[in-house]
């Protein structure tokens, strides 16, 4: 399965054989079917390559000292990657310019704070496609690139408006290249939480905010007027996961998580654990607690079925190891997890 | 008439999550669709592709929950976003309940 978001190949093939359509139209449909199939195969293979490569070698040769950042325009279709946007950093299209600048910012965040070279830590190109679909209320990581919709202008506005959204989505790539958490059950909730934690940290880092001044809201900048009129201020609130101003209120305790729960729902308790640890320790979220989370995410190789209890234990262990001379860090991490019942 | 009820689920914003007012719903009359499109949808009910996410792979994909209602009863399947014809994508409207 992959997220091609295109007309199924069978439909394209059948339509290409419809005698009522002009010959040129039928040829275009057949060509699209062939190309789409190959793109689908390419994306599936890209995902498999990630797993095999990470399992096979200790250290891949560095691809680039710093990642290239590319932007493509889908022009309101579902065809990926779209048309390349030349010089996106100075584009007249504000979406293209913003996507380039914020993605470059995420690369700098990971490099400056954690010493990480791009999504895969080997300088891979960070590729984004914008204007995906028409009024499309979604943003995605498809296994090899980012995809952003423009929003419908009422419930949501352009998804690239959220710096935390961009940080969130790119962090799914980081997770794919590190813990490789499955996107279901507890690993799925952890996967989502990693993206909220690092997306929020990126937002705070860009603004140079300490933990007390951060809003800890995910998706605050993409909420549209219709949603705002109903009192919605965000998708999720890491400080108060069950708050009514959230579009998707979440559980606050680990005991509330059940098998099969949507990862956007089960990320509530680990989000709150991270927030609590950060507030307890103080200062900037990325300085100490963020580094503990980063080492826990990237320091042990692939554990796709990692449970929340395991991750909590790992962060406690890392906090002791990284900050043995500063016991307040481990104490803050411990308090965070205990607050959610772990 | 065979009614097809459609709900789009998932995504970054969590359409259809418990407690969330965010919904995406649509409805089609299967009998009014072009034959090839109708057959493609019926094939999804006969042999539904898995909507389960794979690893490593896409994150925040949408998926569709489709229910077809006939005189003999109803049947529901969940399928990946890219498994459906474009008419399904075009049928749903995002709303805040």
Count: domains in chain B: 1
Statement to judge: residues A204 and A254 lie in one domain: yes
Q: Which of B49, B56, B62 lies at the smallest CB-CB distance from A138? A: B62
**How far is Cα A185 from Cα A81, in angstroms, rounded to an integer?**
30
Quick one: A70 and A130 in the same domain? Answer: yes
Kindly state whether residue A168 falls inside one of the protein's structural domains: no
The alpha-carbon gap from A314 to the nearest alpha carbon of chain B, in Å, equals 22
* Domain contains A171: no
B8 vs A36, higher pLDDT? B8
Reduce the DSSP state of residue A172 to 3 states and report it. Answer: helix
Residues A272, A323 share a domain: yes
- What tens digit of pLDDT does each residue of A161-194 get? 999 999 999 999 999 999 999 988 999 999 999 9
On whether the CB atoms of residues A238 and A275 are closer than 8 A, the answer is: yes
Domain coverage including residue B24: 3-96
Give the ipTM.
0.88
**Rounded CA gap, A39 and A35, in Å?**
6
**A313-330 confidence digits (pLDDT tens):** 999 999 999 999 999 999
Q: Within this chain, do residues A124 and A156 fall inside the same structural domain, yes or no?
A: yes
The verdict on A219 and A286 lying in the same domain is yes
A192 and A322 in a single domain? The answer is yes
Residue-wise burial string across A83-94, b where 16 or more C-beta atoms lie within 10 A, e elsewhere: eebeebeebeee
> At B17, is the pLDDT very low, low, confident or very high (cuts 50, 70, 90)?
confident
Percent of chain A with pLDDT strictly greater than 70: 82
> Is residue A310 located within the same domain as residue A219?
yes
Residue A169 falls in the annotated catalytic set: yes
- Evaluate whether residue A167 is within a structural domain: no
Closest-CA distance, A285 to chain B, in angstroms, reads 23
End position of a domain, from candidates A101, A125, A160: A160
CATH number at residue A105: 3.10.170.10
> Does A249 touch chain B if contact means CB atoms closer than 8 Å?
yes
Residues A29 and A65 in one domain: no
Chain position carrying tokens 């419908």? A152
Question: What pTM value is reported for the model?
Answer: 0.84
Residues A335 and A191 in one domain: yes
| Residue A172 counted as domain residue | no
Structural domain contains residue A170: no
B84: nearest CA in chain A?
A: A8
Q: Which of residues 171-230 of A touch B (CB under 8 A)?
A: 172, 176, 180, 182-184, 188, 191, 195, 219, 226-227, 230
The tally of domains found in chain A comes to 3
Q: Do A106 and A25 belong to one domain? A: no
Bridge partners of residue A156, in order along the sequence: A223
> How large is the greatest C-alpha to C-alpha distance in chain A, in angstroms?
77
Q: Is B60 in contact with A140 (Cβ distance < 8 A)?
A: yes
Domain that holds residue A273: 185-339
Active-site residue, from A169, A186, A192, A280 = A169
The verdict on A193 and A243 lying in the same domain is yes
């Amino acid at each position: 399965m992959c997220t091609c978001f295109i007309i199924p190949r069978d439909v394209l093939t059948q339509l290409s054989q419809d005698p009522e359509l002009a010959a040129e139209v039928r040829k275009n449909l057949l060509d699209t079917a062939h190309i789409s199939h190959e793109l689908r195969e390419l994306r599936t293979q890209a995902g498999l390559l990630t797993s095999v490569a990470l399992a096979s070698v200790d250290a891949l040769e560095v691809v680039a000292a710093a990642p290239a950042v590319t932007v493509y325009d889908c022009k309101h279709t579902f065809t990926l990657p779209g048309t390349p946007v030349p010089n996106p950093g100075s584009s007249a299209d504000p979406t293209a310019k913003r996507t380039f600048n914020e993605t470059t910012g995420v690369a700098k965040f990971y490099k400056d704070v954690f010493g990480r070279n791009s999504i895969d830590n080997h300088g891979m190109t960070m590729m984004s496609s914008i204007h995906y679909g028409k009024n499309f209320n979604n943003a995605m990581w498809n296994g090899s690139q980012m995809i952003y919709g423009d929003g419908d202008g009422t419930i949501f506005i352009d998804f690239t408006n959220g710096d935390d959204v961009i940080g969130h989505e790119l962090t799914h790539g980081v997770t794919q290249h590190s813990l490789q958490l499955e996107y279901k059950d507890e690993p799925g909730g952890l996967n989502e939480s990693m993206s909220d934690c690092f997306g929020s940290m990126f937002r705070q880092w860009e603004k140079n905010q300490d933990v007390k001044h951060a809003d800890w809201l995910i998706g605050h900048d993409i909420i549209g007027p219709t949603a705002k009129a109903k009192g919605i201020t965000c998708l999720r609130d890491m400080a108060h996961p069950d708050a009514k101003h959230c579009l998707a209120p979440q559980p606050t305790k680990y005991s509330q998580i059940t098998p099969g729960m949507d990862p956007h729902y089960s990320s509530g308790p680990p989000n709150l654990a991270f927030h609590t640890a950060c507030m307890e320790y103080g200062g900037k979220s990325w300085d100490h607690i963020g580094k503990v989370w980063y080492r826990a995410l990237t320091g042990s190789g692939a554990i796709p079925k990692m449970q929340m209890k395991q991750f909590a234990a790992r962060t406690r262990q890392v906090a002791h190891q990284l900050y043995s001379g500063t016991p307040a860090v481990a104490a803050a991490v411990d308090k965070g997890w205990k607050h959610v019942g772990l | 008439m065979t009614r097809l009820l459609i709900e789009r689920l998932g995504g970054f914003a969590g359409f259809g999550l418990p407690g969330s007012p965010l919904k995406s719903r649509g409805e089609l009359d299967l009998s009014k669709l072009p034959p090839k499109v109708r057959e493609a949808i019926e094939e999804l009910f006969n042999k539904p592709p898995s909507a389960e996410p794979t690893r490593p792979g896409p994150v925040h994909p949408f998926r569709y929950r489709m229910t077809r209602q006939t005189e003999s009863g109803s049947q529901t399947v969940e399928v990946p976003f890219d498994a459906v014809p474009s008419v399904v994508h075009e049928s749903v409207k995002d709303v805040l309940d």
